């Protein structure tokens, strides 16, 4: 856990402003989190819904299932943890999460209507 040293009121304000803005993932981390978001393995909420100036989001990245973990190989420091994410990246992750959900729904609908028997025995 990060230690915050309290020395001056201005230090506390600066630290609070850093949290309110959130942190940007680097490109590699963002892509890993985005892949897990597409799979629906993230949970997000605004960091402070009552503060209109706070654009950061609280993000929890769930462990992927074993097959996805084997194929995607996410960093251990990303999964199973909470992150305070920059608002711009958080909004992009929300769009990716929605896109992944829509594409998986289409896949499952197609699968539900697939006729494997006639495809293989006609």
Taking only the tens place, the pLDDT of each residue in 64-98 is 999 999 999 999 999 999 999 999 999 999 999 99
| Predicted TM-score of the model (pTM) | 0.81
Model pLDDT for residues 10-69, shown as the tens digit of each residue: 777 777 777 788 899 999 999 999 999 999 999 999 998 998 888 899 999 999 999 999
DSSP string of the chain? ------S-HHHHHHHHHHHHH-B---HHHHHHHHHHHHTT-EEEEES-TT-TT---EEEEEPPPPHHHHHHH---TTTTTEEEEE-HHHHHHHHHHHHHHHHHHHHHHHHHHT--HHHHH--
């Amino acid at each position: 856990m990060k230690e915050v040293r309290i020395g001056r009121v201005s230090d506390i304000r600066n630290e609070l402003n850093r949290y309110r803005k959130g942190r940007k993932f680097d490109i590699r981390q963002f892509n890993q989190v985005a892949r897990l978001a597409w799979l629906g393995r993230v949970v997000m909420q605004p960091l402070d819904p009552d503060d209109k100036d706070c654009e950061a989001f609280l993000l929890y990245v769930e462990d992927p299932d074993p097959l996805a973990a084997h194929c995607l190989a996410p960093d251990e420091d990303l999964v199973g943890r909470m992150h305070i994410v920059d608002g711009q990246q958080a909004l992009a992750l929300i769009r990716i999460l929605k896109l992944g959900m829509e594409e998986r729904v289409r896949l499952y609908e197609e699968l539900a209507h697939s006729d494997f028997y006639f495809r293989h025995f006609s």
